[in-house]
Amino acid sequence: MAKRQTPEIVTFPASDNPAVTTAAYVADRETEKYLNELLPKWGYDKSRIVRGSIQDAIRDYETKSMPGVLIVDISDTPLPLSDLQELADISPPQVNVVVLGTRDNVGLYRDLMDIGVTDYLVKPVPSDLLYKAIARANGRGAVRGTDQRTGKTVAVYGVRGGVGATTTALNTGWLLANVYNRHVALADLNLTSGTLALEMGLEPSSGLAELLTGPDRLDNVFVDRAILDAAERLKLLASECDLETEQEYDSAAVAALMQHLRNRFHFIIQDIDRNPPAVAMEVLRTADVRVLVMDPSLASVRDAARILKLLEKDAEAHKTLVVLNRVRSGGRADVPLDKIAKFIDHPIDMVIPFDRKKLALASLNGEPVARRKSPVTDAYHRLAAELVGQRDSKRRSSWLSGLMGG
């Protein structure tokens, strides 16, 4: 397991409603210092941040007016749901509660939302997520429990078989969860021959197949049964159906599942099955971010150009990233790298170098190659950073220029 990074301090615009007071009851000195540093920068000058529990908050505000936004830390709370319900009982409707904690549990998150909590964030909390959570709480007024978290769908599509789409989906998802502290669901949409579970050392279930072939039964219990735990913030949906049994699903079933997962994860990464093509294209077309994976072969370049042409009409509403995978040292390829972007009429957004030994070892160990430091890992870091909006364009340009001999 990769070591968690200390949350990066990000500067955001000051609150447009600084009159709303904020109070925080946190369990440790590090979180106290973190909030004391961030909240004034965001315009919450009247913030009160103390070391304390939910019960301390209840005692403090049982007989006096409460702040508009209340942050509570349940890290050391033995019965968080009971205490939060007690807090909710004394809270006016206009008070919005943001909960911090260390437990990454889908059931806990759902229970907290049912109580009326605005948001639940797992520590260490990235500053961008904290800012958005407080901003939502700041602007929600008297409406509680109706603000929906909306995660992004990321469709990873190999323009041809064997170009490394599954590897790209796996490593990007792993980094988003373990380095960028996002909640991520990986969905292997190949129900018969998908390899995500195999690559992660997990045993696939029939759950995803049942979700896609019976979308009318979609609910939290059904989804929870299908989810496989890959890491603290990384979940997997994967099935391995009998080759002789037809497992057909349509794009509407995928859309229904994605909409459900949006409310529970920051990113839902779809490893798209290329068959049937009509379903694959519709899933790809409607994703928030479309990641096309290709290699430098002539056939791959041709197919990438064809697919990008199909995606042109949705280009403004949906982001498309082109990943050039399996680039050998020195840029040796059927098509020169400096000609590929021109031929496909789209920038090459990310270049993944080819390291057969490291990829084979990672696969053998049932782990992402991104767990180990290497140029391949660096490239996947850049892709993950792009998805969370922390693009390092200078570093990317330097890398691409080096491969192209510029």
pLDDT (tens digit per residue) in 142-178: 333 434 436 899 999 999 999 999 999 999 999 998 8
Least confident of 86-95, 175-184, 343-352: 86-95
Q: pLDDT of 35-92, one tens digit each?
A: 999 998 888 877 899 999 999 999 888 767 788 899 999 999 999 999 998 887 677 6
- 87, amino acid identity: L
CATH architecture of the domain covering 22-139 = 3-Layer(aba) Sandwich (3.40)
Structure tokens at 376: 């391949």
| 3-state class (DSSP) for residue 49 | strand
Give the C-alpha separation, 75 to 97, whole Å. 15
Average pLDDT, the chain: 83
Q: Note the pTM of the prediction, 2 decimals.
A: 0.64
Cβ-proximal residues to 397 (8 Å cutoff; 6+ apart), any chain: none
Instruction: Tell whether the torsion through CA atoms of 33, 265, 391 and 11 is positive or negative.
Output: negative
Q: pLDDT of 107-127, one tens digit each?
A: 888 888 888 888 999 999 988
Q: pLDDT of 321-331, one tens digit each?
A: 999 998 887 65
Tell me the CATH number for domain 152-404: 3.40.50.300
- For residue 403, the model assigns a pLDDT of 42
Give the C-alpha separation, 239 to 339, whole Å. 39
Strands 228-229 and 234-237, bridge-based pairing: antiparallel
- For residue 340, the model assigns a pLDDT of 93
Residues in the chain: 406
- For residue 333, the model assigns a pLDDT of 64
Expressed in angstroms, the distance from the first to the final Cα of the chain is 37
Give the C-alpha separation, 186 to 104, whole Å. 16
